[in-house]
Amino acid sequence: MAGKEPVSSELSRELNLFHITMMGLGMMIGAGVFLGVGNALHVVGPGGVLLTFLLNGIIAMFTATSYAELSSAIPHAGGAYNYARIGFGRGPSFVAGWMEWYASSVAGSLYAVTFAIYTVRYLKVLGLLSWLPLSTGITEKLMAVLIAVFFIFINYRGASETGKIGALFTLGQTIFLVVIGLIGVVITIKDPYRLQNFQPFLPNGWAKLLITMGFTYVAFEGYEVIAQAGDETIEPRKNLPKAMLYSVFIVTLTYVAVAFATVVAVKAGTPGVEGAPWQWIGSFRERGFGEAISRLLPMGNFLLTLAVIFASTSALNSTIYSATRALYALGRDRMVSPFFAQISKKRKTPWAALMGTAALVILVATVLPTMDVASSASMMFLILFFVVNLCVIRVRWHMGDELTYGFIMPFFPLFPILAIILQAVLIFWLLHMSIIAWIISPLWIITGIIIYNWYSKKRAVVTADEIQVLEEEKAEEAPAGEGEEYRIMVAVAHPKNAIEMVQTTYKLSTAKNARIELIHMVPVPEQVPLTAAKDYMWEGKEAIVETMLYLEPLFPISSTIRYCRNISRGIVNASRQKKANMLIIGWHGRTSTRQFIFSSTIDPIIERSPCNVVALKGGGKLSYKNILLPLAGGPNGAFAFEIASLLLEEQGKITIFYVYNDVSAKRKFDIGAFVKEHSERCNLSSDRIEVKITYEDDTVHAILKETENHDFLVIGATRKPILAQLGRDSIPEIVSRKCTKPLVMAHAATGIQSWIKRLI
């Protein structure tokens, strides 16, 4: 069964768009919808059951767009685990994968038990189990184990068999449910009086809707199994996003149609129906759907049992597949024992991870109280979806220029933000379903954290997207009680760059009485393995030593040398991790790429940094006696003024330069009020400030001409996002590129944006 080689990373690509769409539908159209309709009617009424599935479908579509974007850029087995690994690092990703494995496995146990309960009961009605000397409970457990073992074997046979058999079961159950929905529509057209069953529409109010949405949301989890199929899907960047969006759309329409058919299936006043039809159906709780359908279709009980068998087995098949890939991904990255990353040479399936999943599925199905544990699985899925929606925002902001996307969601980041808020509400309302779920879920997460710190943290393999700390020296921290220190991070590239930045760093650090954090990102070529990163760090180490020779006697200095494939992302990550208040970076002109206006490294840093950024261009001994400060009323003008005042020498002067033309006239910028306000704030006397206004249509030409009369230029950066700069130059970038004098470009971190960037 197992090959001799301990680890192989190749899975067979055999799944097409139809296969993975059916896998997603199979995981969603499980036992939950059959149990959920009656319970939802009981809690929230006839209109509420329609809104429950419709609104859950909309929320699910929000998260599906997040999964679709991430899976198109990161099409590998692991799903939420992979996304969290790239977005948030090893620790959070391990917990995500740990929850992912648990949630899918326990959901599989629930489907196995559901299959067993319905099958055993129907066989007993037919009298086919009278010869068996076992109690009903033991018979059901035995049946659950048998069906679980059968689908474990199917998963071992390979992804193609899994996809084909799962697609067959899913197609059968989907057709059955669609037929029920169509029959409901037809009988309503023939007998419009049945629409009275929806009166009153929401008898128990809107608040109850949250309870039913929380209870049934697990029926929309299918895009997780699709994400797990990334390594086995044909053309994954194209097919994964399509399958996710198609499956959620199909299942939402199907659920709403089935809920509608359930409500209109029972006619008021018919024998045995007491009170309003929706109340009568809801009184049966989880059996309500079956009672309604038995009155809608001939042989309704038989057909319902058949549908539940199809539904539970297809969902069981999909959850076993999903859980296995989650555990395989953990083993592949050494987060758990590499034993679980072993792949069968013959079948090309992760047999070891499948055996681990099988053990958990069978254990839960036979020993644990499945319904309560399944409720905790629902909570796990909601937490996972919450994390994925955070990941899509973080990955787009910090790695959007590094990844190749097959699908990009519209209106970013509106959909993930809405999903995060709504899923947080549903997680809270799950408390009304099961208190045990609120006990088991935190315990499982805490167990995962312990395992990570005890085992995974030291053994996990380094991926190409990670940031590694190669060398770090820390200065002594300030004594407690002295308040929070101002921290300036200085990014040094090489010895020449370091010397050029010393003077500016010295001036700003003196004014702020700051602690200095030196950082060097090691530029390792793409073709060089990660293990060779240390061979490329010596130039950066020399640069840090040069800087420390000048500054260490004057300021507390810490230093760190890190490796990351993307230098700008590594610097931004370090500024966030070190809680820097200001980041000083050097710029030596336009790079060979012409994709972005300013610089392929500087642009992302300025846009994504959570702190103030000072970009320095120019070297040698700098003079700050005569500083030019162009202003136009932009958002970074105040910070640029502050930087100019801090750099200004004792007898120096700042020239505030304003170009008046048709464009600037529209801004209605009061330069006099600005100078008065900020000169007082920066404690700069008026005799050291000169205001100069010129009238010219070409703003860039006017500024460049004026720089000839000054030693140094300070200019505020643009606030436009990177994508908005494609093909269009902003004035600060053009001036910075063409200016021959030393200059500083200043970008201020502001309010809520800075707070969000520090978190995400």
Last residue of a domain, one of 537, 565, 586: 586
Examine the fold and report which residue of 459, 477, 505 is the final residue of a domain before the chain moves on.
Answer: 459
**Same-domain pairing of 407 and 477:** no
Residue 221 lies in a domain: yes
Q: Which of 257-271, 361-375, 558-572 has the lowest mean pLDDT?
A: 361-375
* Low-confidence winner among 343-347, 381-385, 408-412, 703-707 (lowest mean pLDDT): 343-347
606 in a structural domain? no
| Residue-by-residue DSSP string for 25-56 | HHHHSSHHHHHHHHHHHHHH-HHHHHHHHHHH
Q: Give the mean pLDDT of 394-407.
A: 80
The enclosing domain of 284 has a CATH number of 1.20.1740.10
**Which helix (H) or strand (E) segment is 364 a member of?**
helix 351-366
Are 522 and 533 in contact, with CB atoms under 8 Å apart?
yes
Q: Please name the helix (run of DSSP H) or strand (run of DSSP E) that holds residue 366, with its range, or none.
A: helix 351-366
**299 vs 54, residue with greater confidence:** 54
In this prediction, residue 702 carries a pLDDT of 92
Output 529 or 258, whichever has higher pLDDT.
Answer: 258
Domain match, 524 and 446 both: no
SS3 577: helix
pLDDT at 441 over 60: yes
Does 8 fall in a domain?
Answer: no
Q: Is residue 355 part of a domain?
A: yes
**How does residue 594 score in pLDDT terms, banded at 50, 70 and 90?**
very low
Beta-strand relationship, 626-630 and 612-617: unpaired
Residue 4: both structure tokens together: 């001799």
The listed range with the strongest mean pLDDT (17-26, 43-52, 120-129, 342-351) is 43-52
Number of domains comprising the chain = 3
Residues with Cβ within 8 Å of 131's Cβ and at least 6 positions away in sequence, in order, are none
Of the segments 198-207, 462-471, 493-502, which one has the largest average pLDDT value? 198-207
Q: Look up the domain containing 81 and give its range.
A: 17-459
Q: What is the pTM of this model?
A: 0.72
Residues 381, 492, single domain; the answer is no
Same domain, 671 and 705: yes
Tell me what pLDDT residue 68 has. Answer: 92
Co-location of 358 and 375 in the same domain: yes
User: In angstroms, rounded to a whole number, what is the distance separating the alpha carbons of residues 305 and 290?
Assistant: 9
Range ranked top by mean pLDDT from 100-114, 145-159, 368-382, 594-608: 100-114
pLDDT at 722 over 70: no
pLDDT in tens, 292-313: 877 777 776 677 777 777 777 7
- The answer on 120 and 25 residing in a single domain is yes
Going by pLDDT thresholds of 50, 70 and 90, the confidence category of residue 527 is: low
**423 and 382 in contact (C-beta within 8 Å)?**
yes
Residue 508 lies in a domain: yes
Alpha carbons 254 and 174: distance in angstroms, whole number: 8
**Is pLDDT above 50 for 595?**
no
Position 166 scores a pLDDT of 61
Quick check: is 607 in a domain? Answer: no
Looking at the fold, whether 436 and 298 belong to one and the same domain comes out as yes
Among all chains, which residue has been given the structure tokens 């007491």?
Answer: 274
Whether the Cβ atoms of residue 417 and residue 392 lie closer than 8 Å to each other: no
Better-scored residue on pLDDT, 489 or 126: 489
% of the chain residues with pLDDT over 70: 83
Residue 420 shares a structural domain with residue 348: yes
Residues 26 and 83 both lie in one domain:
yes
Task: Please check whether residue 200 lies inside any domain of the structure.
Answer: yes
* pLDDT of res. 418: 94
Last residue of a domain, one of 441, 459, 477: 459
758: in domain: no
Q: Are residues 320 and 450 in the same domain?
A: yes
Q: Does one domain contain both 142 and 258?
A: yes
Question: Does the N-terminal peptide bond of residue 413 adopt cis geometry, omega within 30 degrees of 0?
Answer: yes
Do residues 162 and 62 both lie within one domain? yes
In this structure, what CATH number is given to the domain that contains residue 488?
3.40.50.620
**At a CB cut-off of 8 Å and minimum separation 6, what does 616 contact?**
500, 501, 504, 584, 585, 586, 587, 742, 743, 744
How far is residue 10's CA from residue 201's CA, in Å, rounded to a whole number? 53
Q: Among residues of the chain, what percentage have pLDDT more than 90?
A: 15
